């Protein structure tokens, strides 16, 4: 089969590799679309340690089942599917509690690190275990389904806390995850939705994705503008989809007494934050890791039109050109956000 292999950091080769063979409880999926995650882009330079070459990256994908293992009974060749990016065991204590994102034996497709190597879906075919598959509704295209993984991350984050009807909510960082979080929050009935980012073009797009107010974080009065947007009441919940000190602290500074901050981004491994403010204002900080079973609900949101993933995609490109386009995103080409690779 053909695959896009990262041979060295930021150096890709479109080449022939052996087609994987499914085990008895696995299926072979013919990939029809695979989106490029920000973690693939950032990881391609070696900075994360989770894309060690050689590796076939890619974990946001959808396709058609080509072949099934001997123990697979619920799926058949020809089924249109997407699949979780996390390969979880389903047996450990955390999996039994529904915390599949925290599985003791967790592997992520397209990740190559010190602990394991798991080739992903930047290829014509990929093998996945049957228990992480999801059937695609007829109304959902393959490119739309390739966006289910980031949408599931957004939904997982949005449901880490109770967001009441009409709540005032702040989302800091409107890349793919932040933008989808806005859409999910809008579908949940949030009221005032404030988006903050450094990129003015993204802020304008945030309006279309549900933001009622957009603010540039370079504005020295951004905190005042947040207060004005909430009629001096501050926000009920804040989501940080970046993960650096300034953005986390803006969230902490902006939530009301007894409010909550959900941490989704993690660009920095460590930051400092105002502990005393968190304690004396009785704020709650929630980490949000990947997703934990939200795929089916996300597919329903797309099929019903409540969430629009098409507008998130900057460009569909052939898999063989993937290396060039990944590097373009890495270098920050204007107007280029999410690309989808088509084998």
> b or e along 169-179 (b: 16 or more beta carbons within 10 Å of the residue's beta carbon)?
bbbbbbbbbbb
Residues composing the chain: 343
Nearest to 205 by CA among 247, 171, 254: 171
| CATH superfamily of the 2-152+292-342 domain | Medium-chain alcohol dehydrogenases, catalytic domain (3.90.180.10)
The answer regarding whether domain 161-287 maps to CATH 3.40.50.720 reads yes
pTM: 0.95
Closest listed residue to residue 307, CA positions, set 165, 148, 158, 162: 148
224-275 pLDDT, tens digit each:
999 999 999 999 999 999 999 999 999 999 999 999 999 999 988 899 999 9
Phi, psi of 141 (to 5 degrees): -80, 170
Confidence at residue 334, expressed as pLDDT on a 0 to 100 scale: 87
The residue with tokens 């980012």 is 197
Residue-level pLDDT at 33: 98
Q: Could you tell me where in the chain the CATH 3.90.180.10 domains are found?
A: 2-152+292-342
Q: What are phi and psi of 11, to 5 degrees?
A: -125, 115
Which residues make up the CATH 3.40.50.720 domain(s) of the chain?
Answer: 161-287
pLDDT, residue 97, reads 96
Given this model, what pLDDT does residue 60 score? 98
**Residues in the chain with pLDDT values less than 50:** none
């Amino acid at each position: 089969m053909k695959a896009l292999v990262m041979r060295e950091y930021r150096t890709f080769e479109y080449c022939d590799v052996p087609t994987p063979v499914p085990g008895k409880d696995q299926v072979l999926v013919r990939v029809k679309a695979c989106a490029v995650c920000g973690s693939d882009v950032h990881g391609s330079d070696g900075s994360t340690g989770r894309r060690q070459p050689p590796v076939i990256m890619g974990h946001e994908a959808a396709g058609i089942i080509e072949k099934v293992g001997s123990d697979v009974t619920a799926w058949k060749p020809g089924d249109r599917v997407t699949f979780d990016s996390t390969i979880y065991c389903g047996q450990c204590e955390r999996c039994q509690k529904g915390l599949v994102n925290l599985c003791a034996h967790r592997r992520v497709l397209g990740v190559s690190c010190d602990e394991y190597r798991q080739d992903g879906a930047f290829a014509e075919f990929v093998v996945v275990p049957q228990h992480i598959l999801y059937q695609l509704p007829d109304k959902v295209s393959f490119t739309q389904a390739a966006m289910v993984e980031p949408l599931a991350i957004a939904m997982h984050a949005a449901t880490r806390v109770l967001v009441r009807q009409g709540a005032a909510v702040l989302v800091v960082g409107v890349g793919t995850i932040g933008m989808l979080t806005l859409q999910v929050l809008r579908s949940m009935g949030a009221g005032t939705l404030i988006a903050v980012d450094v990129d003015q073009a993204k802020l304008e797009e945030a309006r279309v994705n549900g933001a009622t107010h957009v603010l540039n974080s370079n504005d020295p009065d951004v905190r005042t503008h947040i207060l004005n947007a909430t009629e001096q009441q501050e926000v009920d919940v804040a989501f940080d989809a970046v993960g650096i000190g300034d953005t986390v602290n803006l969230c902490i500074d902006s939530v009301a007494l007894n409010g909550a901050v959900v941490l989704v981004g993690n660009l920095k491994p460590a930051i400092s934050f105002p502990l005393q403010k968190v304690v004396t204002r009785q704020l709650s900080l929630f980490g949000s890791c990947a997703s934990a079973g939200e795929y089916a609900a996300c597919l329903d949101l797309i099929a019903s039109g409540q969430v629009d993933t098409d507008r998130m995609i900057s460009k569909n490109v052939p898999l063989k050109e993937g290396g060039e386009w990944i590097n373009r995103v890495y270098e920050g080409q204007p107007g280029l956000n999410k690309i989808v690779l088509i084998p």
